[in-house]
Structure 1
Amino acid sequence: MADLSQAEHQIHYVTNFQDLISTPFRGVINAICWTRELIGDFSEIVKKVELNGNMAVIEQEELCELQLSEQGQLARKILLNDMRALKAHGASPILNVINRYDQDDTYPFFPTDVYSFHVDRSPIPTDTFLCTYYGEPSEILPNSQGKKKVLIPEIRDQLKKLYHGTEDGFESFLSEHFFDLHYQAEPAARLISLGLGHLWRLAVDHPESQVPPCLHRAPKERSGQKRLLLIC
Structure 2
Amino acid sequence: MDSTFSDQTQVAVVSTFSHLINTVFSGKLNAACWQRALSGDFQEIVSKLELKENLTEISMDDLRSLELSEQGCEARTRIKNDFQLLTDAGASPSLNLIKSYERDEEFDFIPTDVYSFHVDRSPIGTDTFLCTYYGAVSEILPNHQAEQKLLVPAIRLKLKELHEGREEEFEHFLTEHYFDLHYEAKPGARPIKLGLGHLWRLAVDHPDQSCLPCIHRAPLEKEGEYRLLLIC
Q: Secondary structure at the match of 1:25?
A: coil
Instruction: Give the equivalent residue in structure 2 for 1:71.
Output: 71
Matched-pair contact (CA < 8 Å) for 1:7–1:142: no
TM superposition shift of 1:52 = 2.1
Rounded to whole Å, the distance in 2 between the matches of 1:81 and 1:74 is 11
What is the RMSD of the two structures over their aligned residues, measured on CA atoms? 1.2
Instruction: Give the equivalent residue in structure 2 for 1:189.
Output: 189
Percent identical across equivalent pairs?
58
Counterpart of 2:177, as a letter, is: H
Counterpart of 1:174, as a letter, is: L
Q: Which moved more, 1:46-55 or 1:169-178?
A: 46-55
TM superposition shift of 1:7 = 8.1
Instruction: Give the equivalent residue in structure 1 for 2:22.
Output: 22
Runs of 4 or more consecutive aligned structure 1 residues displaced over 6 Å after TM superposition: 4-7
- String of CA shifts for 1:201-228, please: whole Å, max 9, x gaps: 0000000000000000000011111100
- String of CA shifts for 1:95-115, please: whole Å, max 9, x gaps: 001011110110111110000
- String of CA shifts for 1:74-105, please: whole Å, max 9, x gaps: 00000000000000000000000101111011
Q: TM-score, normalised by structure 2?
A: 0.97
Counterpart of 1:19, as a letter, is: H
Matched-pair contact (CA < 8 Å) for 1:130–1:201: yes
Matched-pair contact (CA < 8 Å) for 1:55–1:96: yes
Q: TM-score, normalised by structure 1?
A: 0.97
Q: Which moved more, 1:81-90 or 1:54-63?
A: 54-63
Q: Which structure 1 segments of 5+ residues have no match?
A: none
TM superposition shift of 1:5 = 7.3
Q: Secondary structure at the match of 2:117?
A: coil
Instruction: Give the equivalent residue in structure 1 for 2:80.
Output: 80
Matched-pair contact (CA < 8 Å) for 1:134–1:227: yes
TM superposition shift of 1:6 = 10
Rounded to whole Å, the distance in 1 between the matches of 2:137 and 2:177 is 27
Rounded to whole Å, the distance in 1 between the matches of 2:166 and 2:155 is 19
TM superposition shift of 1:55 = 1.4
Instruction: Give the equivalent residue in structure 2 for 1:50.
Output: 50
Q: Which aligned pairs between 1:1-232 and structure 2 lie closer than 5 A?
A: 8-232=8-232
Q: Secondary structure at the match of 2:222?
A: coil
Matched-pair contact (CA < 8 Å) for 1:7–1:144: no
Rounded to whole Å, the distance in 1 between the matches of 2:224 and 2:54 is 12
- Cα distance change on mapping 1:61 and 1:180 into 2, 3 Å: same
Q: Which structure 2 segments of 5+ residues have no match?
A: none
- String of CA shifts for 1:126-165, please: whole Å, max 9, x gaps: 0000000000110001101000011111100000011011
Matched-pair contact (CA < 8 Å) for 2:6–2:13: no
Rounded to whole Å, the distance in 1 between the matches of 2:5 and 2:76 is 35
- Cα distance change on mapping 1:144 and 1:121 into 2, 3 Å: same
TM superposition shift of 1:23 = 1.1
Q: Count matched residues.
A: 229
Rounded to whole Å, the distance in 1 between the matches of 2:152 and 2:189 is 17
Matched-pair contact (CA < 8 Å) for 1:138–1:194: yes
